[in-house]
Structure 1
Amino acid sequence: MVNFTTREIRDIIISMLVIAAVFSYVFSNKQVNIAISLLPASIIGVGVGFVFHEIAHKFMAIKYGFWAEYKLWVGGILLALITAYFGFVFAAPGAVYIHGAYISREENGKIALAGPATNILLALSFMFIASFSTGILSGIATLGYAVNSFIAFFNLLPFSVLDGAKVIRWNPIIWLLAILIALAITFKSIFTL
């Protein structure tokens, strides 16, 4: 059974709003009035991708019988705000903490892959919506496509605490396929924006 604590819900909402706000600020070219008007679209395109990414980790961990809870990291929130001030976003506002008995390399790899795989599916969904829509909906979908493809690619990099390091330790072939898909859709999104 999946349960969310009050603290976890609070941490997810704060993290989502901060991420949406910093992306809005950067996409607005650091113009606060424009950033405020972009915030609703950013909550949909960016915030939803962040929330689903973290919830995918949680659900997969619970599927394997582990306790999992999202926790905000204040240092990561501050890093996101500072980098946005300089015109780019590096966001690590928190993570899903997993506890339980021994976690096998395969379980850990699949739990890690769940987040980026969710972002790939979201990116493709947003791309589909963008190709058949116009106006504001097309803009939101294009933003969602670009950001979710990048979140997937970035998280699949095989470094330290990122998801990619856990996936590659479990199965290098699955990692390679996942990162190539994420790279391809990220590259395509660059020409969409």
Structure 2
Amino acid sequence: MHIACAVLALTLAFTLLGQVPANLFMLMFFLNLVTVGLGVVLHELAHKFVAIRYGAFARFIAWPAGLALMIIMAAMHFPLLIAAPGAVYIFTPLGKKEYGIVSVAGPLTNIALSLIFAAAMFPVAALTSAMPGISTYLMLLLASGAQINAWLAVFNMLPIPPLDGSKVLPWDGKVYAGVIVFALLLVFIIVPLLAGSAQLLFG
């Protein structure tokens, strides 16, 4: 229930933030639902499986105030969306290192998904001439997936409790810096560059 609420709220927020025309709203909502759903669910599964490896129990709990704030900011078209739908809580005592590893697993999963979505734009863009309609929708889906997952990694790595970054930073500052810097590069440089290159080569 908590994950479902977070997925729907994030999907609505990212769709509103995109300021798409009314006739395309449901299409973009569906595309974002796929990418957000995949990103959030795999993020939480990564936490869960790594926690299990250490004999711990982890669970995602939605933050209603954060969900509401996120949707309001998106509806008002704030240039920067605070994507804070909730956080994973670990209910078993762990050492600082284990706690940090469990926490960083989620953002690393989003980074991996962002790269996969971005890389997939090249073969899909190559199909533009053969299947222009399908290729266009797939490109929208992949671009959405790459950008949204990169943003999810960035916001989850903020060093603010109870976000993942607040547990990773005390464990290892170098790991923290590496993950958040790479996530920021994904958002502002790598994903836009790959998307533009795919369109330029095959568009």
TM-score range, shorter chain: 0.7 to 0.9
Match of 1:109 in 2: 100
1:33-44 matched pairs, under 5 angstroms: 33-44=23-34
Deviation at 1:129, TM superposition (A): 0.8
The amino acid that maps onto 2:57 is W
Instruction: Please report the TM-score for the alignment, with normalisation by the length of structure 2.
Output: 0.81
SS of structure 1 residue aligned to 2:124: coil
* Contact 2:108–2:179 under 8 Å retained in 1: yes
Calculate percent identity across the aligned residue pairs. Answer: 34
Match of 1:4 in 2: none
- Alpha-carbon RMSD: 1.9
Q: Distance in 1 between matches of 2:76 and 2:8?
A: 19
Q: Distance in 1 between matches of 2:45 and 2:22?
A: 30
Cα deviation code 1:74-114 (max 9, x no counterpart): 212211221122114323222222112x3111011101101
* Contact 2:13–2:71 under 8 Å retained in 1: yes
The amino acid that maps onto 2:169 is I
Deviation at 1:55, TM superposition (A): 2.2
> Unmatched 5+ residue regions in structure 1?
1-9
Work out which of the residue numbers 42, 66, 87 in structure 2 matches 1:76: 66
Match of 1:6 in 2: none
Shifted more, 154-163 versus 60-69: the winner is 154-163
Deviation at 1:137, TM superposition (A): 0.9
Match of 2:75 in 1: 85
Work out which of the residue numbers 81, 90, 108 in structure 2 matches 1:98: 90
SS of structure 2 residue aligned to 1:109: helix
1:2-21 matched pairs, under 5 angstroms: 10-21=1-12
Q: Distance in 2 between matches of 1:106 and 1:32?
A: 48
SS of structure 1 residue aligned to 2:83: coil
* Contact 2:87–2:163 under 8 Å retained in 1: no
> Unmatched 5+ residue regions in structure 2?
126-135, 197-203
* Contact 1:113–1:167 under 8 Å retained in 2: yes
Higher Rg of the two aligned structures: 2
Match of 1:170 in 2: 171
Deviation at 1:148, TM superposition (A): 1.0
Match of 1:24 in 2: 15
Match of 1:127 in 2: 118
Higher relative contact order (CA 8 A, sep 6+): 2
Shifted more, 74-83 versus 117-126: the winner is 74-83
Cα distance, 1:162–1:69 mapped onto 2, change above 3 Å: closer
Work out which of the residue numbers 39, 51, 56 in structure 2 matches 1:66: 56
SS of structure 2 residue aligned to 1:161: coil
